[in-house]
Amino acid sequence: MPEKQEYEFVVDENAQRLDKFLAQKVPEYSRTYLQELIKDGHVTLNGKKNTSVKQELSSGDLVGLSLQPRPGFNLEPKKVDFEVVDVQADFIVINKPAGLLVHAPANRSQEITLVNGLLYMFAELTDLLKDDDRPGIVHRLDEDTSGLLLIARNERGKNKLGRMFHDRKISKTYKAVVSGHTPRSGRIDFAIGRHPTVRTKMSHQAVDGKPATSLFSVAEYLTGATLLDVKIITGRTHQIRVHCSSIGHGILGDLVYGVSSRFISRQALHAGLLEFEYDGVMYRYELPLPEDMRQLVAALGIVESVQEEN
């Protein structure tokens, strides 16, 4: 765990983006860790705080880095309960249960997570630990969101899948139960960024919001609620939860952005469909609603005719 240290670097003629520049200057630390420092405001550019990982540098720029102590993460292989949906040479597809962290944040560094379970079940993932405490994790689901998660199995898979997510070549569709009756279909384009005062939350009204797009269509109208299919074009933190809230139809059970429900104890959000092409082969994975969301739908009841609320 590094101690707090202060660095200053002058950019030479080989200018490049900020995270790559720092990775070259302090190669003993992973780029993932350096990206966290940038996002958390521990890097300056020409004396001003800079939180953009992709900031392009110019020759002569002065970059300041405040290296922060980092907790040691619990990366011991442990048996964890989750379903393996498919195993391919370069990747694994799992069904993550609600209530399981994908990987530990700094303030919960010793908790048992999906990463512990993956290391227990797939020993080859230890090869990815050399510069990453999130081996194989190329995208995430919130702790209380269930469903399909794609895991890289090796360095090739990590790099290729990472590019595919970046280039939006992986299609992800979720099931969500939201309050009220939505239009039959719609598009939400609010940018999403960190909440200005509550750091653990995201907001569609953030000053530094990044473009985000969600497409939704009605699967079923329920009593006082709607079961939606939501396809995300971008992959921002808490995107569906924030977007649903932004149009006045918060997710049931979501105590941060949505509305409480006596029929479910977590956000009613499930990653049910995953589609992509890999090495010329099309892959499609689909999961039914988990039991707690089936019970929620049954308790609310399907209605045949509704008055759309907006």
CA atoms of 20 and 55, how far apart (whole Å) = 10
44-52 contacts at long range (C-beta below 8 A, 24 or more positions apart)? 45/18, 50/18, 51/208, 52/18
Q: What DSSP element (H or E) covers 171?
A: strand 170-179
217-252 burial, b if ≥16 CB within 10 A, otherwise e? ebbebbeebbbbbbbbeeebebbbbbbbbbbebbbb
The answer to whether the CB of 204 falls within 8 A of the CB of 170 is: no
Angle between helices 18-25 and 31-39 (to 10 degrees): 130
- Report phi then psi at 19, rounded to 5: -65, -35
List residues bridging with 7 in a β-sheet.
65
Q: Known catalytic residues?
A: 142
